[in-house]
Amino acid sequence: MGIVFTRLFSSVFGNREARILVLGLDNAGKTTILCGQTSIRPYWRCYFPNTQAIIYVVDSSDTDRLVTAKEEFHAILEEDELKGAVVLVYANKQDLPGALDDAAITESLELHKIKSRQWAIFKTSAIKGEGLFEGLDWLSNTLKSGSS
């Protein structure tokens, strides 16, 4: 994980461990979220088993590909090994003109079809570092209450 997200993560999760997958279409902003604004590629590995949470990153300005983003998203949710995972959606690139807001992304991704797990959506700008903390805070609290 990049240093920026690691710091953010530590500030919210403390020493607790959580296995979290960061997924999304290409160009959605995953690397920027994990590494900040540097071009350093993150070294993370994706393992489906025992995943407690999925962070799904969407480029909110890429309206042409929202249908694809929705299809990929629901395919991920169908994975047996991810059935129990909590879902945090980052509606990223909010700083760009024409970016859809959280309500519109909720609609586009058909988030209300999710019945058997907890989910939330947050507006983010990975470039500006906005919204990332709020999302992680929700995730931390949700995982905490689920494990107690």
Ligand X SMILES: Nc1nc2c(ncn2[C@@H]2O[C@H](COP(=O)(O)OP(=O)(O)OP(=O)(O)O)[C@@H](O)[C@H]2O)c(=O)[nH]1
**Active centre residues (catalytic):** 37
x-or-dash string of contact with ligand X, 103-132, rule CB under 6 A: ----------------------xxx-----
Smallest separation, CB 14 to ligand X (Å) = 26
Smallest separation, CB 98 to ligand X (Å) = 11
Q: Which of 24, 85, 89, 136 binds ligand X (CB under 6 A)?
A: 24
Residue 31 in the binding site for ligand X (CB under 6 A)? yes
Contact 38, 129 (CB under 8 A): no
Residue 60 in the binding site for ligand X (CB under 6 A)? no
DSSP bridge pairs for 89: 56, 121
The secondary structure of 31-91, three-state, reads HHHHHCCCCCCCCCCCCCCCCCEEEEEEECCCHHHHHHHHHHHHHHHHCHHHCCCEEEEEE
Q: Which stretch binds ligand X (CB under 6 A): 47-55, 65-73, 89-97, 134-142?
A: 89-97
The region, left, alpha or beta by phi > 0 then psi within -120 to 50, assigned to residue 98 is left
Which residues are near ligand X by CB under 6 A?
24, 26-32, 92-93, 95-96, 125-127
